[in-house]
Amino acid sequence: MTSPLPNELTGPYLHVVPPAAAAIVPATDDLRLIVETCPDLMCVTEMDGTFRYVNPAFKAVLGHEPADLTGKLSLDFIHPDDVPGLIAAVAANPEETSIEFRFRNAAGEWVDVEMNRKLMRDAQGEPAGAVVTSRDITERRKADQRFRLLADHSPVGIYIAQDGRFVFVNPQFARYTGYAEEQLLGMKPLDLVLPEDRDYVRENAVQMLKGARSFEYEYRIVNRAGETRWIMESVISIDFHGRRAALGNYIDITDRKRAEELQQRTLAELARSNEELGQFAYVASHDLQEPLRMVASFTQLLSRRYKGKLDDDADEFIRYAVDGVTRMQNLINDLLAYSRVGTRGKPPEPTDCAYIFERVLANLTTAVQESGATVTAEGLPTVMADPTQLEQLFQNLIGNAIKYRGERAPVVSVTAADDGGRWHFIVRDNGIGIDQEYRDRIFVIFQRLHGKEEYEGTGIGLAICKKIVERHGGHIWVESDKGKGSAFHFTIPREGGSGQ
Amino acid sequence: MEVLLVEDSPGDVRLTREALKEGKVRNNLNVVSDGVEAMEYLRREGQYAGALRPDIVLLDLNMPRKDGREVLAEMKEDHSLKRIPVVILTTSEAEQDILRTYDLHANCYLTKPVDLDQFISIVKSVEDFWLTIVKLPRD
């Protein structure tokens, strides 16, 4: 045909309407209006696919004038690669066909369309042509592509499951499960789940389908290699090709779970170990005291019963024996005190150092009076600490400052300063001082620089101080010289210590 | 006065004996070294058929075979024995031991002091209080 055919919405087939819609067919004028204002592409074709009529949308969407199309074969405008598929689809479903293909627009570009073709019969019931409605699905295609891009490159596993089977999985999901993408499609998601967790997962799926928004939960799967992995999944109900489906996001949290488990076990182990240590220390000291008590008691009874009946040597021997026992008992009690810094330590709480200082002064009243000591404090803050241990710390340091005095009456000062992230305390005295060379040794358990005749004590006080300070995450050291007094420094971090 | 001392440490037995000697009241100290013997004595069984009923029992807690807690429980459940005052004399300072023995109706709880003088003083106090000041049930 060479002359352009009229682009008319007329013809025998317009009198044929699908029987079901007979009751509600609008008047012809309205029909015209509907077709002409429809934003989707609507056309009528001959049986061979020639355009008989195209609606104005062809111009709006594709830029084609009706004259360019009417009388032309539609197949000429369709991408050659899509033509065989279209022909086969129509042949398979002549009454109604749905398919997607690419259609050339006026600018020569390929546009993705989705077509719905319905066969029309004439008054005699013979096939007389088709009414075709199509839609530009470029945007939808782009959206699909964007989704695809996202899914392909996502470090998160993504899947879509419908009717209890996977209909889409992304590469990361395949990696997580150890199966290939092709293997997963058609597999049932529950088959991947560890048997013990299946009820839980099923329960959550039910909840999710009931319309709960998005849902996050953790469970275990068994991958292709047979390993159990922990998964955190977020799943939501979506519409997929017209029906309900589940869209899930998946990350492997096995490492995190293992770290958590390890941490739990370690903490439990630590707690148990501390408990054991505490019990051991108690039992050890308890059982050690028993025989000591025997020795002490009977030597004292001996001395008492036979007073005056034994010679001076005997008295002296007994005195040494009893003295030895007493010292042993003190050592055991001190060791117990030392071990309790760890096993009976309490978690840090806000502690007013000024108040602790007052308590310590009260505890040391006798020592202060006997020595004529002057003890002052300035700028003491509130810190995060175990109050009992802080009191022990202050008492040991201030007590030492008074004890290790020289000729003069002791003058002791306690100060504190804010040193960035920590409090820096100094306990200064004018006592006998410590030789530089022993600066570190004095903090070692039972290390003494003086005989027991000169100054009493077992040498555990500073070791306990060090343990307390370190338990709170701080440091302790001394600046001193023989004959020149001492300054004991220690730090306590502001936010509270490690609290072991 | 008949005193029953239930104590497994021979040293502590001896110390207690010495301490009681220094007390005011004439008393007869009977000694058994574990819980099984204690019950036999109290029930006048076997070798203890001729035993006299004690006016007071000094009871150690930690002993082999049957310990002081079991003896205490059995005594206080036995109609013929439950009136006898039981003074717990032990090395343990444990809170749970104190609570448990008072739950079992011990009359009082004493921890053996480490110091000899204090030990003697405590034993004499017990004797003083329980054997001269307190009114004992006469069965």
Distance of residue A293 Cα from the nearest chain B Cα, in angstroms: 6
Q: Copy the structure tokens of residue A100.
A: 């997607």
What local confidence, expressed as pLDDT, does residue A497 receive?
45
pLDDT tens digit string along A133-155? 999 998 888 888 898 898 899 99
Euclidean distance between CA atoms A304 and A417, whole angstroms = 56
Extended strands (E) in A77-204: 96-104, 110-121, 127-136, 157-162, 165-169
User: Sign of the C-alpha dihedral, residues A476, A479, A481, A487?
Assistant: negative
Which strands, in side-by-side order, build the sheet including B86-90?
Answer: B28-32, B2-6, B56-59, B86-90, B108-111
Taking one residue from A and the other from B, the number of pairs with CB-CB distance under 8 angstroms is 27
Name which of A177-186, A247-256, B129-138 the model is least confident about: B129-138
Angle CA A50–A52–A53, to nearest 5: 130
Euclidean distance between CA atoms A36 and A356, whole angstroms = 92
Euclidean distance between CA atoms B119 and A390, whole angstroms = 35
Pairing of strands A486-493, A51-54: unpaired
Q: Is A289–B112 a contact, with Cβ atoms under 8 angstroms apart?
A: no
What local confidence, expressed as pLDDT, does residue A3 receive?
47
Kindly tell me if the per-residue pLDDT of A118 is higher than 80. Answer: yes
Distance of residue A314 Cα from the nearest chain B Cα, in angstroms: 19
Name which of A73-77, A437-441, A485-489 the model is least confident about: A437-441
Give the percent of chain A with pLDDT over 90: 44
To the nearest whole number, what is the mean pLDDT of chain A? 85
Q: What's the pTM value of the predicted model, to 2 decimals? A: 0.50
CB-nearest to B11 from A286, A294, A329 is A294
pLDDT range class, residue A208, cuts 50, 70, 90: confident
Q: Which residues of A fall below an 8 Å CB-CB distance to B? A: 286, 289-290, 292-294, 296-298, 300-301, 329
Within B2-131, where are the H helices? 10-21, 35-42, 68-77, 95-103, 116-126
Interface test with A, best of B63, B116, B118 (most A CBs within 10 A): B116
Kindly tell me if the per-residue pLDDT of A266 is higher than 70. Answer: yes
Kindly tell me if the per-residue pLDDT of A272 is higher than 60. Answer: yes
Highest-pLDDT range among A6-10, A287-291, A361-365, B22-26: A361-365
Interface test with A, best of B114, B115, B121, B123 (most A CBs within 10 A): B114
Backbone angles phi, psi at B5, to 5 degrees: -105, 120
Distance of residue A320 Cα from the nearest chain B Cα, in angstroms: 16
Q: Copy the structure tokens of residue A18.
A: 């699908």
User: Sign of the C-alpha dihedral, residues A340, A342, A347, A349?
Assistant: positive
Beta-bridged to residue A160, according to DSSP, are: A168, A247
Q: Is A433 helix (H, G, I), strand (E, B) or coil?
A: coil
pLDDT tens digit string along B49-102? 999 999 999 999 988 889 899 999 999 999 999 999 999 999 887 788 899 999
Q: Is A293–B117 a contact, with Cβ atoms under 8 angstroms apart?
A: no
User: What value does the mean pLDDT take over residues B31-47?
Assistant: 93
Q: Is A329–B116 a contact, with Cβ atoms under 8 angstroms apart?
A: no
pLDDT range class, residue A5, cuts 50, 70, 90: low
pLDDT tens digit string along A273-327? 877 877 777 777 777 778 888 888 888 888 788 877 878 888 888 888 888 888 8
CB-nearest to B114 from A298, A301, A329 is A329
Euclidean distance between CA atoms A309 and A301, whole angstroms = 13
% helix / strand / coil in chain B, to the nearest 5?
Answer: 45, 15, 40
pLDDT tens digit string along A47-57? 888 898 888 99
Torsion of the alpha carbons at A423, A424, A429 and A430, rounded to the nearest 10: -150
Helices (H) and strands (E) in chain A, counts: 15, 17
pLDDT range class, residue A157, cuts 50, 70, 90: very high
To the nearest whole number, what is the mean pLDDT of chain B? 90
pLDDT range class, residue A16, cuts 50, 70, 90: very low
Euclidean distance between CA atoms A310 and A296, whole angstroms = 18
Closest-CA residue in chain B for A290? B91
What local confidence, expressed as pLDDT, does residue B139 receive?
65
Checking phi first, is residue A456 left (phi over 0); if not, alpha (psi -120 to 50) or beta?
beta
What local confidence, expressed as pLDDT, does residue B76 receive?
94
